[in-house]
Every structure is written in structure tokens, then in C-alpha cells.
Structure 1
Amino acid sequence: MKRWNVAITGFGGVGRAVADLMLARRARYAERYGADIRLTGVRRSRTASVDPNGLAPGDWDAGVPAGDDFLDTAQAHVLIEAGPSDFRTGGPGYGYMKAALSAGLHVVAISKGALVHDGPGLRALAARHGARLKISGAAGAALPTIDLIQHNLAGCHILSIEGVLNATSNHLLTEMMDRDVNLADALTRAQDAGFAEFDPRLDVEGWDAASKLLILLNFGLGASLTMADLSVGGIQHVTPADIHGWRAAGLSPRLVAHVAWTDGTLRAGVELRTYPATDPFALVRGTTKAIRIVTDAMGEIVATSHAAEPGATAAAALKDLEHILAAG
């Protein structure tokens, strides 16, 4: 039985969901991979809880002031980064991930900020130190995106990608079409129901979808792009007249992250597109997410996902953990 110590940085709803599900699956990890999984450290913004022998759920909130030696005192082999995202600086997660990868620790990234800020740099750092950097939770969570590109379609040439990658914007568009309400009213209802953030600009203006797209480009397709290389639009300018026109024409609006190659030049961004009822994306309603990839040899592949958060993101992160365990 091989011992694996796991540390989690960022211990909000997603981090706690990861911890709960991971400890509930300890017998599974032991049976499938011969792995003795221990949660040896959790770090919040100012405090941390650490026990190299493994934390029990009752120990999680009994924290002490956090120091810079968190990963060392947790004796971690794997870091799961679930903190808040800051796309401009990488946020605290960037520092944690750089420290972990530099020490040869494997990293499972859930927060997107560090990957958007310096994805190519983190990718190179992982390769240099023989560490694995897994990103499913940051690139669509339950929706299979990065694995689809890296594994399922490895024998193909990808011609184009379209993705409904932001559940909040898709929910808002569905509400506007179904209930004949404006964006402000749909947003208020979504915030009251917990579907939208208090500050929804990252979702509504397309930046969250653009972040996921950038991660897919840099990690799935080996690009080295920045946000400045993408054209980014949102749904903030949709009017009731737009809604009425689309409904009359039998069209469904979707905020779509897209990639295509024109004369060998990659063009990528986020924009609002409309689809007829015969198109699979017309069926992607509410908080459902979807991706469509067109390839040379396998044709068109469409995947969709409708799963409750934060459990879906936690499960995606633990899928990455199982890939690490399987590789030894």
C-alpha cells in the first residue's frame, strides 16, 4: 500500500466537497490503486489545519495561523488548488502551485486564475520537475473537455471547437427566452436562486468562458496564448427585441467559446451565436454545458453535462487524482 498525502488550498464550498468525497472514497482508492489516501492539510486564506497522519472531518476547522511552510508541514505528495481565481495576477493559487510543482509535487488545479495568468509557465515547470499538472476541474468540471481533446481524439486533427462553457450565461439566456424577461430580471431571479454570483460580470461578459477556452488551447492543443489573443464578447447587450426576433425565427441563443483555423491561422474567442432547433446546441438549456469538436477522421463529437455544483467540480478534480494514482 503506497501512502499518498493530499493537501487542499482554498477551503470554501468546492474545497470541502473535494475533502468529503475524497475521504468517502478511501476504500476505492485502496482497492483500485493500492493507495492509502490521507488528507494531511487544508489551508484557508489566513489559517490552516495540518496533521501528517491525516485529518478527520472534525479537525478541518480547528485551524492555526497559516505559514509559508504549509506544504512541507503537510508532507504533501499532491496539492489540490481550489482557491478563488484572479485572472490578472494568478491569485494565491499561483504561488501555491509554483511551490508545489517546483518541489515535484503533483497538482490538481480547480481554480482557473493561475492557469489563465501563466498556464504555459506552469506547464513547463511541471515538465521540468517531473510533476503532473491536472486541470479537469478548471476546464469544464463534469463536462469532458481536456480529456476529450488529449485522450479520446488524440489520433485526429481537430478542425474546430465550439463550447457552451458557462452555465450561468446559458441559464440567463434560457430564462430570457422562456419567460420573455429582460437580462436584469433574469439575473435577479438567478441570484436569488443561487445560480449567479453577486457580481456576475465574469459570466455575463464572457470572461469565464474565455478563461476556460484559453486553458483548453494552452493545455489541450499545446498553444501559448494569452487573453489578449482572444476576442471576447458576452450577453450584456441582449435586448428584448433580440429575444423576440430569435423566438420568431425559431433560433436559440448561446454564449459560445469557439476555435477554428482559417488558412492555417487559429482564430478563437467568445461570442453569442444562434442555432436552429435541429442543432444539438439548441437543446443545451439552463445550466447545461456542452462542447462540440469537429475532427478530420472521427467527424463531429458532441458532449453535454448537467450536474449540480459543487459536487460536479469536486468529482472532476478527483478524476484527476485517480489519473495520478493510476500512473503511480
Structure 2
Amino acid sequence: MKKQVKVGLLGLGTVGGGVYKTLLKNRVTILERTGCAVEVVNVLVRDREKERGFVIDDKVLCLEPQELLGDEQIDIYIEVIGGIHPAKEIIEAALTSKRHVITANKELMAKHGAQLLRLAEQNGVHLLFEASVAGGIPVIHMLQGYLTANRVHEISGILNGTSNYILTEMTKTGRSFPEVLAEAQALGYAEADPTSDVEGYDAAYKLAILTNLAYDACVEVEAIDRQGISAISGHDLLLAERMGYAVKLIGHVQEQDGAVQLSVKPRLLPSAHPLARVGDVFNAVTLRADVVGDLTLIGRGAGELPTASAVIEDLTALLTQGDTIRRPSWKRPLAAAAKRPEQTGCYFLSLTSCPEQAQELALAVQRAVESAGGLVADYRTAVAADGLHHAWLLGGVTEEQVHRTVEYSSQIVAEPLSTLLLNVEGEIKTGVKWEAEASGYETNARYA
């Protein structure tokens, strides 16, 4: 790479501002470590007059993508505007003009990454995307560079900081999902439309990218089994905590017999699990490979500086490694494997009823589970304004059998049941632990 490197920056919002400020602040360090003087010479923005909270020369700002793309002095483009359009068209034009691109765009890479990587290879340039997954955690560099001699068998991770913050605060304070979501929005952790974060779409994009890297594949995002966190109540989290578990939104992929099973779902993790202790807006990824074993990486998954750090690490990789950077091979079409035949597993079942029907409901669930050959390993209750919340830890049953249990139990109570069913990580111990007798239920002040 030449000694003077000119950068074109697409977007000057939270991440773009972080990239610009960091390149200015650390320009001497970058020069000393790479031998290259980096200068941002053109920045695509929507509004020249916007107050940005830092000083930037108005002369480098432009409003039209064509002005940025037509600047022949630019060596590397950094895209941080997000979304599919116009980011896709701009990146395609930049790659076609034989200039490198660095992107933080998870949705674009999940849906069109294979196509864009082929275009980059055809034009002899690189498309780097470390910042598209888990912010400042170098998980993509780990998969693309460090683990080249390993076969990755499994990936599990907390891939969305917003959902993790909401679940953490609900668990700590007992507040409802809407209350904590509103707080997350006020703090800037959640968008005005939080659907992508809380319904698992954001995590699914990131899981698709990690899967493609780990298995040299090209998965369809739509094929990922996805469930969000919006149906989880504070009482569910309380009862899971009393059972010795934490609820986390987990992206998970596992290879079996040449196929992969992919899911983004809330799961109960044992309190000793390394991901169970990851709170707030932090992300974490556990990789399981045949040679190195288990690796867990933890760090801030979003925000101005963590994401900017990932972008700039891609930039320094280009400056120092150039053509030696390993190109991802997302050339093998791979849909998510079909669901395996129903197998027994462990589940957390939550139902809400009026207190008067609690004992009858508890016995109905126990009878239905035992008749299916399963076991009730734990049973807990919590009183709330909308009724009595029940939670069961079930083992040795299939998901279909649990659904049939709910159908059977719904015939016992007068009102429709409010139901939540989550997977439980790991094995559970046999035996039944009853929290309270039918005549008296424990009330927690945080949740009552």
C-alpha cells in the first residue's frame, strides 16, 4: 500500500463520526505502525449544516454518492450508512472501480455478501467487514485468520446488545419489557423502531455472516429459525433466575453430518455458563473447534468507538497485509438444514392463571408431562397483578409434547393461558422441587 492513503467515508452518524475522530486522534499511531499516512478526503452526508459535536472541514462534505465515487484520489471507501439501498449500489460501484471497501453493514453482508465478495475478487480488491458483527469483538478476524487450521463445529453467541440490555435490566429490576425498551430507546441503545433488535432479525444477520465464514457457505437469512424477546415478562426472568438460569437471546449454529442447524432464540442458560454472566449491552461469542477447543470472546457489541475500532482495524489490515489477506469463500449454497425429527429435550414452560385454579393447573401439567414419559424437574410461582405466573422446568419431552401439554392444560382453566416456551441449555436433574404449597404462593416485591 502506498505511503499516502486517501479515504472516502460514507456516513457521518454515530459510527462514521467515531471513525473520523479516531483516524484524526490516532493518525500518528497508525502512521508509526503501518507506515501509511491516512487522510479522509471526502465524506458523504445527508445534511451539510447538521451539528455534529466535532470539528470537520465543510469542504470534505458531499451530498451525492456520485461525487464521492468520482473522486479518483480515493484509495479506500468506508461504508457506515447501513441498510441495503443505496449502500449496495455504492459498494458495487466502488469495487468495480477497483478500490477497496470496508463496511459495517450487517444486513447487506448477510443478504448480499456472497455476491459482493465475488465482485471484489473479480476486481482484485478486498471487501472487509469486521464491524458488521459484534462491534469491537474481533470474531471475524478470529474465524478468517486465526482458525484457518480448525474445523468449527459450533458457534453460540449473544449477538445483539439491545436485547441483552433489556433482558439484563428486566432481570435486575423486575420492570416490564415495554418499560425497559423505552429506557433503552432514551439511552440510544434501541432504535425508534426496535423490531430488528428485539425480534431477532439483527442477530440473525450476524449469525448468517458467522456461519458463512465458519463453513465457507452462503446461508439464507430467511431460513434461520428466529424468535424474539418481546413476549418475555419480568416474572419469567424471575422464575428462571430462581431455578438457577439466565435468559439470553442466543444465536446458535451447529454442524451435524454436513448440514447446519441455525437458530436465534431466547434460551435458558445455567448460571455457570460463560454467556449467562454477560450483561448490559455487551456481546459474547463462543466458538467450538476441533483443535483449539472452546474460545469465548466478550466485548461491547455496538456504539461509536467499539464499532469504529473494528472498522479501523480492517483499514490497518489493508495497509499492512494487502493481498495476503485471506479471501472468504461464500460460494457453497447452503440453506439451513431441515428440522431434525422430534427429539426429547429440556424446556422452560411459563403459564399464567388465576390463583384459584393454580393447584389444578399444576397437577394437569404434571400429569400430561409424566404421561408423555417426561419429568418435571422444577416448578415455581410468582404472584402478579395479572394473575399467578407458573414456570416449569421440563425434561425428556419433545417440543410437540409440550405443546400438547399446554392444549390439555388449557381445558382446565376458565380463561386462555398466557404461554411462553423456551429451550434450556444442557441437561437438567431429575426430581421435582416444589416452591410453595397450593395454599400459599411466594410473592417477590420486585414483581408483585
TM-score by length of 1: 0.91
Deviation, 1:142, is 0.7
**Corresponding residue of 1:68:** 66
1:198 paired with 2:196, answer: no
**Corresponding residue of 1:158:** 152
**Corresponding residue of 1:229:** 223
The code of the aligned residue for 1:187 comes to L
TM-aligned CA distance change 1:58 to 1:105, over 3 Å: same
The code of the aligned residue for 1:170 comes to N
Deviation, 1:62, is 7.0
Deviation per CA, 1:201-238: give whole Å up to 9, x if none: 11100001111111222244321122122111110111
**Corresponding residue of 2:267:** 273
**Corresponding residue of 1:239:** 233
Show the 5 A alignment for 1:52-201.
57-60=55-58, 63=61, 65-66=63-64, 68-73=66-71, 75-85=73-83, 90-201=84-195
TM-aligned CA distance change 1:243 to 1:307, over 3 Å: closer
**Corresponding residue of 2:5:** 4
> What is the aligned residue count?
317
Q: d(CA) in 2 for partners of 1:60 and 1:262?
A: 55
1:183 and 1:236 in contact (8 A); partners too: yes
Deviation, 1:307, is 6.9
**Corresponding residue of 1:283:** 277
Deviation per CA, 1:129-184: give whole Å up to 9, x if none: 11111111111121121111112222111110001010000010011111112111
Q: d(CA) in 1 for partners of 2:204 and 2:190?
A: 17
Q: d(CA) in 1 for partners of 2:203 and 2:262?
A: 12
Deviation, 1:239, is 2.5
User: Which one scores higher on RCO, CA 8 angstroms, separation ≥ 6?
Assistant: 1
**Corresponding residue of 1:260:** 254
- 1:283 partner SS: coil
- 2:248 partner SS: strand
- 1:58 partner SS: coil
The code of the aligned residue for 1:5 comes to K
Moved more, 290-299 or 308-317: 308-317
282, 289, 294: which one aligns with 2:288: 294
Deviation per CA, 1:293-323: give whole Å up to 9, x if none: 1111111111111377211100110000000
**Corresponding residue of 1:53:** none
**Structure 1: gaps (5+ residues):** 49-55
1:167 and 1:288 in contact (8 A); partners too: yes
Runs in 1 of length 4+ with deviation above 3 angstroms? 45-48, 60-65
The code of the aligned residue for 1:178 comes to K
1:119 and 1:219 in contact (8 A); partners too: no
Q: d(CA) in 2 for partners of 1:322 and 1:64?
A: 25
Deviation, 1:64, is 5.1
- 1:259 partner SS: strand
Q: d(CA) in 2 for partners of 1:124 and 1:46?
A: 33
**Structure 2: gaps (5+ residues):** 323-448
**Corresponding residue of 1:51:** none
Moved more, 277-286 or 192-201: 192-201
Q: d(CA) in 2 for partners of 1:72 and 1:314?
A: 25
Deviation, 1:127, is 0.8
The code of the aligned residue for 1:209 comes to A
Moved more, 212-221 or 93-102: 212-221
**Corresponding residue of 2:14:** 13
Q: d(CA) in 1 for partners of 2:214 and 2:75?
A: 25
The code of the aligned residue for 2:211 comes to L
Deviation, 1:114, is 2.1
- 1:253 partner SS: strand
**Corresponding residue of 2:30:** 29
1:191 and 1:198 in contact (8 A); partners too: yes
Deviation per CA, 1:67-103: give whole Å up to 9, x if none: 5242222621100000032xxxx22111111111111
305, 310, 316: which one aligns with 1:311: 305
Higher helix fraction (1 or 2): 1
Greater C-alpha radius of gyration: 2
2:135 and 2:301 in contact (8 A); partners too: no
Deviation per CA, 1:228-251: give whole Å up to 9, x if none: 221111101112442232022011
The code of the aligned residue for 1:191 comes to Q
TM-aligned CA distance change 1:63 to 1:22, over 3 Å: closer
Moved more, 73-82 or 240-249: 240-249
Q: d(CA) in 2 for partners of 1:271 and 1:240?
A: 17
Q: d(CA) in 1 for partners of 2:302 and 2:224?
A: 29
- 1:116 partner SS: helix
TM-aligned CA distance change 1:92 to 1:303, over 3 Å: same
- 2:240 partner SS: helix
TM-score by length of 2: 0.67
Q: d(CA) in 1 for partners of 2:302 and 2:135?
A: 11
Moved more, 91-100 or 306-315: 306-315
Q: d(CA) in 2 for partners of 1:295 and 1:67?
A: 42
